[in-house]
């Protein structure tokens, strides 16, 4: 059961990196942006992810990995739902960056998995 749960969480986090990529053509027509701006969406996710790894580890140590992981999963769910309601490119970019903030949950995920393995 723990392996299935860890796999599901890993899938959710991994799919979240690229969930906008298949829709770029439609989104660019709908929200009127170019390929460079489309690339900025992915950049926004990765930059926010990189910036929050260390603070996420601090949170996981301070609050406990399970709490941090559950909160990060909630941010992913709410953020992805909100992305569907973006009416302009700047809103989409802002939401995609915020969904990237869920990276503070990665250290919680790693702590939970390493504790199960040992």
Average pLDDT for 80-85: 81
DSSP state of 113: H
pLDDT band at 107 (very low <50, low <70, confident <90, very high): low
Residue 105 reports pLDDT greater than 70: no
5-23 pLDDT, tens digit each: 777 777 777 776 667 777 8
Q: 64 lies in which domain range?
A: 2-117
Region of 32 (left: φ > 0; alpha: ψ -120 to 50; beta: rest) is left
Provide the domain count of the chain: 1
Q: Report if pTM > 0.75.
A: no
């Amino acid at each position: 059961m723990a392996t299935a749960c860890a796999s599901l969480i890993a899938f959710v986090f991994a799919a979240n990196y690229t969930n906008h990529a298949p829709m770029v053509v439609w989104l660019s027509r709908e929200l009127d942006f170019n390929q460079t701006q489309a690339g900025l969406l992915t950049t926004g996710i990765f930059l926010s992810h990189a910036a929050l790894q260390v603070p996420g580890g601090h949170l996981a140590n301070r609050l406990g990995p399970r709490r941090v992981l559950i909160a990060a999963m909630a941010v992913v769910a709410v953020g992805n739902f909100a992305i569907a309601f973006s009416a302009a490119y700047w809103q989409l970019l802002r939401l995609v960056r915020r969904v990237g903030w869920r990276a503070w949950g990665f250290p919680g995920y790693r702590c939970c998995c390493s504790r199960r393995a040992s």
